[in-house]
Amino acid sequence: MAQIDTVFDIEHGINGLKVAKLRATRHQLSHPFVEALRDWLFAERDRMPKHNPVAKAIGYMFKRDCREAFTRFLEDGRVYLTNNAAERALRGVALGRKPYLFAGSERGGDRAAHMYSMIVTAKMNDIDPQAWLADILARLQDMTVTHVPGLLP
């Protein structure tokens, strides 16, 4: 846990840097800790019985695709270490799960999903969703279909 905490502490300290500087700093500071963590996990896995669930989880984590996903934040400054922002954005979906049962139909559910996606996109782009919706609804009636994508947040 100390190695993982160190990587999170580094992320906390470099949060807000430009993408290129973030990537370089992660490579310099976080990369050694991630490699040490990988080596430690492999050593621990080798000490466990082959069918131990933890050993299987470690093995799964270091399959090619999973390893690339786990270390992608080191190579791309646009990628966050965690998906906490996405989790917070989806919290409203989980809270609204029961009311969504009353969307009326599959088509109503699709409409609700589209609206929710647009509202969350507006929030993520620091746009007031209520003001944005009022603006586009007022302008929508005078627009052609080809100009509608320009209204997206």
Alpha-carbon distance of 4 to 126, in angstroms, equals: 31
Q: What is the full per-residue pLDDT of the chain (153 aa) written as tens digits? A: 777 888 889 888 888 889 889 999 998 999 998 888 888 888 998 999 989 999 998 888 878 777 788 888 888 888 888 888 778 877 766 666 666 666 778 888 788 888 888 888 888 888 899 998 899 888 888 888 888 888 777
CB neighbours of residue 135 within 10 Å: 13
Comparing CA positions, the residue from 29, 41, 26 lying closest to residue 72 is 26
**b/e sequence 75-113, b meaning 16+ C-beta within 10 Å:** eebebebeeeeeeeeeeeeeeeeeeeeeeeeeeeeeebe
Residues in the chain: 153
Question: Is the pTM here over 0.85, yes or no?
Answer: no
DSSP 37-61: HHHHHHHHHHHS-TT-HHHHHHHHH
Q: How is the chain split into domains, by residue range?
A: 2-75, 84-151
The label of the residue with tokens 């997206």 reads 152
Alpha-carbon distance of 2 to 33, in angstroms, equals: 10
